[in-house]
Each structure stands twice: as structure tokens, then as C-alpha cells.
Homo-oligomer: A and B are copies of this chain.
């Protein structure tokens, strides 16, 4: 536990795994971003902002994120029903951490692409 602070990722209930899994989920990250930009959205608005997501899958991500305390779900007992989502402090904090990684990506994507081209040249072409 001295070199890098990554710890026991091999353990099933490792903290890092929890987060890495969520970050690896395409839709969750999109929800994070959209909510950061739009502050507060209803289910359908969210769905419209996130191109191509189906209600089922969106619901799954939303539920998981709510469970982890990343977003709030505000229910209004009206008819037709209204439900709004927004980020919690924790959610905003996570987005910041993720955007660090996104920055790394942008800084290094050209090198990655270069490596891929080289690899593919060697294997196939």
C-alpha cells in the first residue's frame, strides 16, 4: 500500500471497483454530464437529451445512481405525474473526478490512435 493509492481492487467489495463499474457505464456518465449542464430535468427530458437510450435502460442507470447517492429523484404527486432529477453534491464531485480522466483522454487520444494504427498495420495490413 505504498506506491500508488489503488489498494485492494481485487477484492469484490473494493471501493474503487464500485466507482469504476459505474464510470464504465456509458449512460451513467452521460446522465452526470447532462444533469451538470441542465441542472434539473424530468425523465423524458433526460431521455431526449441522451440520444438513443431506451426508458428501461435509462431507468436502470437512474436507479443505480440514486441508490449510490449521486442523484436526487424528486416526485411530485400530480397528474400527469412529474419526476425530476438533479445531481447531489456527491454526484457533482464524481463528475469532477471523471472529467479529470476525460481530460487525460483528450490529451492522449492522439497517441492512442497512433498506437492503434501501428498495431493494426502490423497485424492485418
Contacts and interface: CB of A to CB of B under 8 A. Distances in A.
Interface of A: 3-7, 9-10, 15-21, 23-26, 29-30, 33, 36-37, 50-51, 66-69, 90, 93-106, 108-109, 111-112, 114-116, 118-120
Q: What is the copy number of this chain in the assembly?
A: 2
Given A6-B33, A10-B51, A108-B94, A16 B114 contact: no
Nearest to A92: B4
Contact of A16 (B3, B5, B68, B106): B106
Contact of A9 (B19, B33, B103): B33
Nearest to A63: B119
Contacts of A109: 15, 18-19
Contacts of A67: 115-116, 119-120
A118 B73 CA distance: 14
A122 B72 CA distance: 14
Contact of A112 (B5, B36, B68, B105): B68
